[in-house]
Structure 1
Amino acid sequence: MQASTLFTNGAIHTMDPERPRAEALAVDAAGRIMAVGSVAELKPLAGANTKTVDLSGRFVMPGVFDFHLHVISGMTTRLRSFAIDAGDDFAAILDHVRAAAAGKREGDWLTGSAYGARALVDIEGLGLDAKRQLDEASGGRPVLLIHGSLHGAFANEAALARAGIDAATPDPAGGRIVRIGGEATGLLEENAMWMVDGAIPVLGDGEIVDVARAAVRYFNSVGVTGFVDAMSTPEMIAAFRALDDADDLSTWAGFTLSASRTCSSWSPEAEALLARRGQVCGPHMVAENAKIFLDGVPSLRTAAMLDPYPDTGGHGEMYLSSDELLAEMAAFDRQGVGVKVHAVGDAAVVRVLDAVERVRAENGDGGPWHHIAHGQYIPHKDISRMKRLRVIADLNPPMWFVNQASLAHERVVGRERYATVWPIRTMLEAGVTMALGSDWMTIFPELDPWQALAGLLMRRDPSGKLEGVHGLHEAITLDQALPLMTRNGAAGMGLGDRTGRLAPGLSADFIVLDRDLYAVAPEQIARTKVLSTVFEGREVYAAPA
């Protein structure tokens, strides 16, 4: 049988233990890999109609599989919101608001993302005056500013009014409207932020499809050929099904259904979708997981910690008791649905593992894999349980290396505790299954797998601009890191027999890079650019010349 396309003269890193290195790939007309090997070995597969692509010695690897991101909210923010740098103070944010308001009609919404610790300190210090300054800067237009954690926001008076929030409005379950003397300051924590977000006009069906299409194009440009959305709605799945039906979906798309009431996007429709999840997906889609939120985030002191926060003495929050978590996870498990549990703090991680232990005892060991999403603080004594219980460590966001966001978290929990974050090397040595995610776009406005990869190798700031290190003893090698961002994510979503490696019978999903990752220092890896992205054997992105 002749190949449809023959890719030759590449430095191909397959992520396949059977043949980790190769020079050439033969791909059939359906976009599947026929053979992997040397140029000489694959030459007989070239026929009169075979297209030959010379890779010119470039570094080739499977496409990136991002195991945790927020596709529609992230791309909507990228397309429609003004950018806030995590290091901006409140005065700088007001300048951004004024600039954004200049191009808007009276009454139009303004949204900005994503402010960090510096602005939050300013806002808290100004008290009630902060939202009034925001009203003035926006010309009375409603404004919602999103915190970098995606677990908090700041709204002006006009936005609060649109959401119907006043002095008499009670805090929602799992959320807090911050007040002074009974008056809302505009700061909103956890589920309270969705009260205002819900007042913003929603995207129509056609608009969601357009946003989904733009997201796919963006993902391809940074080398992503597979992703998992971490909190998915029926509307989102319908949008991607429309793309898939139109042969316009050039990534594998995994969805984590908002089927738990702990999700801000929960709906009866999302819960009902579980029963027909196999029917609503196109050929490049999978929706075999559900999402549960168990705790919050350290920056807002809502991540559930075993030891108290040094400044408040509190331990954070958990939104489900042990019995409630068990009941939800056991019900999903019985349906064959894996659960991705948001658990950041060590107390939350322990509660998840305790629940999975009981689920395995009740339902048997043969159920689906479950995921600990984030898992920033994992007690060392519980690491072995993750392997035994078949729990995937969903590693994100990339704050295992020094950056502005990690330093903000370090100030909250203390340097000694922050040095224990993401014990990745220890988990690898214990045989824990891990997959890498970005959590885009909660912390960083750009999806940058290469900075995250360099951070795994260094645990320092690859740019050299920021001093310090986060747990250097947990740094890993490139050989250890690359599977976390390719084959492990694919396997974790049940797609390991279709993508994630470059091997015969699998989809020809790969990327061509501008540098040999094994020939440069980690600092240089962080600057990697994607030259070409290939999905099912066809180029779906080419870098501008």
Structure 2
Amino acid sequence: MTHAATIHDGGTILTMQPGALQAEAIAVDGDGRVMAVGPSHEIAALAGPGTRRESLGGAFVMPGLVESHTHALWGACRDLFEVYVGYAASTEGLAQAVQTRAAALPAGTWITGGPWRLDMRDGLGMTPRDWLDRIAPAHPVALSDTTQHAMWANSAALAAAGIDAHSPDIPGGVIERDATGVPTGFLAEAGCAPLRRLTAWTPDQLSQACDYATRYLNSLGYTAFKEPMADEATLAAYADAVDTGRMSLHVAAHITAYSPLTEAVVPPDEIARLRARYARPGLRLDYAKLFLDGVAPAYTASFLAPYLPKPGYDPATHDPDATLLLPPEVLNATVTALDALGFCVKMHAVGDNAVRKGLDAIAAARAANGSGGPRHEIAHSTFVDDADLPRFADLDAVAEVSPKLWMPNAGTAAQRAVLGAARLDQVHRIRSLLDAGAEVIFGTDWPASAPDANPWTGLAGMISRTDPTGRYPGAVAPAQAIPLDDALPLFTVNGAKAMGMTGQTGVLATGAWADFIVLDRDIRTSTAEEIGAVTVRRTVHKGQTVYEA
């Protein structure tokens, strides 16, 4: 008889196994896989002379969580290397942070970070360029908004990027200009690309960021995650962390096939080359990423119905396809080609027209290549039209919900200002998607539109549609709240399936990796506010403790 290497006993264990949801003990073999999970007396029989016994002390235990959309290195670089003032900061606070950084850096050194919110624009009293010129005249400065889809830049940054009154507009981007044609310093979508290329992180910074992100995600209870937008430098950093044993998470990465930062769609054979070079056990790369639109506060998300009016935008002239980043025919051909190569395509889609076009592209791939191919994902699925709800199940497509806009937050006012209260009551239709048979997964999109990657506030907000921290009052689309039992699969078994790891993580069952977390409370008997305040006491990945509070 094979004996367990470790037995964890004396807990209340949620297994996420249908029909056997609760257990008392887990036996783990020497390779870090679950031998058995069940009643204490049954698991005790697997003990041998060398078995290590660990008491769970009556604590609540559940599978490690799966984060299906987080820019881990980007978020870590923000925390490690950028100005960061938080999503609720004032204009004065942002100015002070930039001035402090400028005083500490030699003239000419880039300053990046943020974030700013669109509601802060009117308070500047001048263009973003002039405002930043006054704050840091001797440094190129480029600050991102909370969504990471727009930037403010000063004169030095614009000059370094070659953006001036004579520069042509950038397809798929916004370079805002004054009445004389001079750039104001506001850039959006592809308009940010020249600045982002000048402020790319070094390999050493990405390596540091990888270690920081691993510790951070483990501390929140994650044992697996998907990187939603990976270029070659990102892939190299992840691969090195896996190869050197520094990665205590299962990782899948969507290789960027098109984003506002790329000049054109990356050829499928180049995506395949990157997969072949960097894929290895622990780093799954059968995934690609496309951007279909932008974000609502910048008027760059693609909606079927018009936005609210503003200077320079007339709802009567609204064209749903005008803000699409890829023409439908290009999108359909790209998804079809990637589908044929076995890539699951994650498509950023905020507006309901973008969601529809993404589903149309999946339908085109199914028609060309047959059913049974990769289960493509609509990232964010922020707004979905009634007619498109059943199409997710029909096309075997996955609805990813992120970031945490289903609860009041720092971005709620900006969303309401451009869309109106009635449309905001149709945001993140999680209940409607589940009722229509869609498979749904959870992501935070940290650090884009989410100040953190905390899953517990996301879970709490999902079941209450309120802010569990109490900072932001009211509720967002409360009719779309779902019960805890319906929400937990989004964070566990559904996320594992989307990573190609069904039965391997996100569940505690024989043969699965021993990926589990010990919490400070039983979330099944907790209020939404209590769930939002959960503390992870311990995170175990492949049978090894990788985080302990």
> Normalization by structure 1: what TM-score?
0.95
Which string of whole-angstrom CA distances, capped at 9 and with x for unpartnered residues, describes residues 484-514 of structure 1?
A: 0111111012111321111110101111111
In the alignment, the residues of structure 2 paired with residue 494 and residue 528 of structure 1 have an alpha-carbon distance, to the nearest angstrom, of 28
Equivalent residues in 2 for 1:82-97, closer than 5 Å: 82-97=83-98
- Give the Å deviation of 1:411: 1.9
What does residue 196 of structure 2 align with? 197
Structure 1 gaps, min length 5: none
Give the one of 481, 489, 498 matched to 1:475: 481
Tell me the secondary structure at the aligned position of residue 45 of structure 2.
Answer: helix
Tell me the secondary structure at the aligned position of residue 390 of structure 2.
Answer: helix
Which string of whole-angstrom CA distances, capped at 9 and with x for unpartnered residues, describes residues 306-335 of structure 1?
A: 110012324460022221111111111111
Aligned CA distance change for structure 1 residues 141 and 419 (closer, same or farther; 3 Å): same
Letter in 2 for 1:464: G
Which string of whole-angstrom CA distances, capped at 9 and with x for unpartnered residues, describes residues 113-132 of structure 1?
A: 32113223334x523xx322
- Give the Å deviation of 1:527: 0.7
Task: Say whether the 8 Å CA contact 1:33–1:508 is kept in structure 2.
Answer: yes
In the alignment, the residues of structure 1 paired with residue 189 and residue 12 of structure 2 have an alpha-carbon distance, to the nearest angstrom, of 47
Task: Say whether the 8 Å CA contact 2:193–2:260 is kept in structure 1.
Answer: no
In the alignment, the residues of structure 2 paired with residue 459 and residue 39 of structure 1 have an alpha-carbon distance, to the nearest angstrom, of 38
Equivalent residues in 2 for 1:106-125, closer than 5 Å: 106-123=107-124, 125=125
Give the one of 377, 382, 391 matched to 1:385: 391
Identity of aligned residues (%): 36
In the alignment, the residues of structure 2 paired with residue 254 and residue 113 of structure 1 have an alpha-carbon distance, to the nearest angstrom, of 28
What does residue 151 of structure 1 align with? 149
What does residue 233 of structure 1 align with? 231
Equivalent residues in 2 for 1:288-299, closer than 5 Å: 288-299=286-297
What does residue 381 of structure 2 align with? 375
Which string of whole-angstrom CA distances, capped at 9 and with x for unpartnered residues, describes residues 5-36 of structure 1?
A: 11111111111214211111100111000000
Which string of whole-angstrom CA distances, capped at 9 and with x for unpartnered residues, describes residues 68-98 of structure 1?
A: 1112222111111121232334333211111
- Give the Å deviation of 1:197: 1.7
What does residue 51 of structure 1 align with? 52
Give the one of 244, 269, 272 matched to 2:270: 272
Task: Say whether the 8 Å CA contact 2:173–2:190 is kept in structure 1.
Answer: yes
Tell me the secondary structure at the aligned position of residue 443 of structure 1.
Answer: coil
- Give the Å deviation of 1:279: 5.1
Task: Say whether the 8 Å CA contact 1:24–1:36 is kept in structure 2.
Answer: yes
In the alignment, the residues of structure 1 paired with residue 27 and residue 475 of structure 2 have an alpha-carbon distance, to the nearest angstrom, of 43
What does residue 100 of structure 2 align with? 99
- Give the Å deviation of 1:267: 8.5
In the alignment, the residues of structure 2 paired with residue 346 and residue 410 of structure 1 have an alpha-carbon distance, to the nearest angstrom, of 16
- Give the Å deviation of 1:193: 1.1
Which string of whole-angstrom CA distances, capped at 9 and with x for unpartnered residues, describes residues 179-238 of structure 1?
A: 1021111110101112112112x3333332222122111111111111111111122112
Letter in 1 for 2:120: A
Which string of whole-angstrom CA distances, capped at 9 and with x for unpartnered residues, describes residues 333-381 of structure 1?
A: 1111111111110111111112222221221112111110111110122
Task: Say whether the 8 Å CA contact 1:88–1:118 is kept in structure 2.
Answer: no
Task: Say whether the 8 Å CA contact 2:457–2:533 is kept in structure 1.
Answer: yes
Structure 2 gaps, min length 5: none
Is residue 2:168 matched to residue 1:170? yes
In the alignment, the residues of structure 2 paired with residue 222 and residue 213 of structure 1 have an alpha-carbon distance, to the nearest angstrom, of 15
Task: Say whether the 8 Å CA contact 1:258–1:270 is kept in structure 2.
Answer: no
Letter in 1 for 2:496: A
- Give the Å deviation of 1:275: 4.3
In the alignment, the residues of structure 1 paired with residue 342 and residue 44 of structure 2 have an alpha-carbon distance, to the nearest angstrom, of 45
Is residue 2:182 matched to residue 1:183? yes
Q: Which moved more, 1:500-509 or 1:160-169?
A: 160-169
In the alignment, the residues of structure 1 paired with residue 47 and residue 90 of structure 2 have an alpha-carbon distance, to the nearest angstrom, of 60
Task: Say whether the 8 Å CA contact 1:259–1:271 is kept in structure 2.
Answer: no
- Give the Å deviation of 1:407: 2.8
Give the one of 505, 511, 519 matched to 2:511: 505
- Give the Å deviation of 1:430: 1.9
Is residue 2:252 matched to residue 1:251? no
Tell me the secondary structure at the aligned position of residue 45 of structure 1.
Answer: coil
Task: Say whether the 8 Å CA contact 1:343–1:374 is kept in structure 2.
Answer: yes
Letter in 2 for 1:213: D
Aligned CA distance change for structure 1 residues 541 and 453 (closer, same or farther; 3 Å): same
What does residue 399 of structure 1 align with? 405
Give the one of 131, 134, 158 matched to 1:133: 131
In the alignment, the residues of structure 2 paired with residue 448 and residue 240 of structure 1 have an alpha-carbon distance, to the nearest angstrom, of 21
Aligned CA distance change for structure 1 residues 206 and 81 (closer, same or farther; 3 Å): closer
- Give the Å deviation of 1:49: 1.4
What does residue 36 of structure 1 align with? 37
Letter in 2 for 1:422: H
- Give the Å deviation of 1:263: 5.2
Task: Say whether the 8 Å CA contact 2:193–2:261 is kept in structure 1.
Answer: no
Corresponding residue pairs, total: 539
In the alignment, the residues of structure 2 paired with residue 351 and residue 121 of structure 1 have an alpha-carbon distance, to the nearest angstrom, of 34
Q: CA RMSD in A?
A: 1.8
> Normalization by structure 2: what TM-score?
0.95
Tell me the secondary structure at the aligned position of residue 332 of structure 1.
Answer: helix
Q: Which moved more, 1:510-519 or 1:257-266?
A: 257-266
Is residue 2:330 matched to residue 1:329? no
In the alignment, the residues of structure 2 paired with residue 90 and residue 466 of structure 1 have an alpha-carbon distance, to the nearest angstrom, of 19
Aligned CA distance change for structure 1 residues 153 and 263 (closer, same or farther; 3 Å): closer
Q: Which moved more, 1:81-90 or 1:447-456?
A: 81-90
Tell me the secondary structure at the aligned position of residue 411 of structure 2.
Answer: helix
Letter in 2 for 1:366: G
Task: Say whether the 8 Å CA contact 1:289–1:338 is kept in structure 2.
Answer: yes
Is residue 2:304 matched to residue 1:306? yes
Tell me the secondary structure at the aligned position of residue 13 of structure 2.
Answer: strand
What does residue 61 of structure 2 align with? 60
What does residue 220 of structure 1 align with? 218
- Give the Å deviation of 1:437: 0.2
What does residue 453 of structure 1 align with? 459
Tell me the secondary structure at the aligned position of residue 310 of structure 1.
Answer: coil
Which string of whole-angstrom CA distances, capped at 9 and with x for unpartnered residues, describes residues 116-160 of structure 1?
A: 13223334x523xx3223123224111111111111010111111
Aligned CA distance change for structure 1 residues 270 and 100 (closer, same or farther; 3 Å): farther
Aligned CA distance change for structure 1 residues 432 and 267 (closer, same or farther; 3 Å): closer
- Give the Å deviation of 1:265: 8.5
Is residue 2:407 matched to residue 1:409? no
Task: Say whether the 8 Å CA contact 1:86–1:114 is kept in structure 2.
Answer: yes
In the alignment, the residues of structure 1 paired with residue 342 and residue 418 of structure 2 have an alpha-carbon distance, to the nearest angstrom, of 39
- Give the Å deviation of 1:409: 0.8
What does residue 434 of structure 1 align with? 440
Aligned CA distance change for structure 1 residues 169 and 215 (closer, same or farther; 3 Å): same
Tell me the secondary structure at the aligned position of residue 517 of structure 2.
Answer: strand
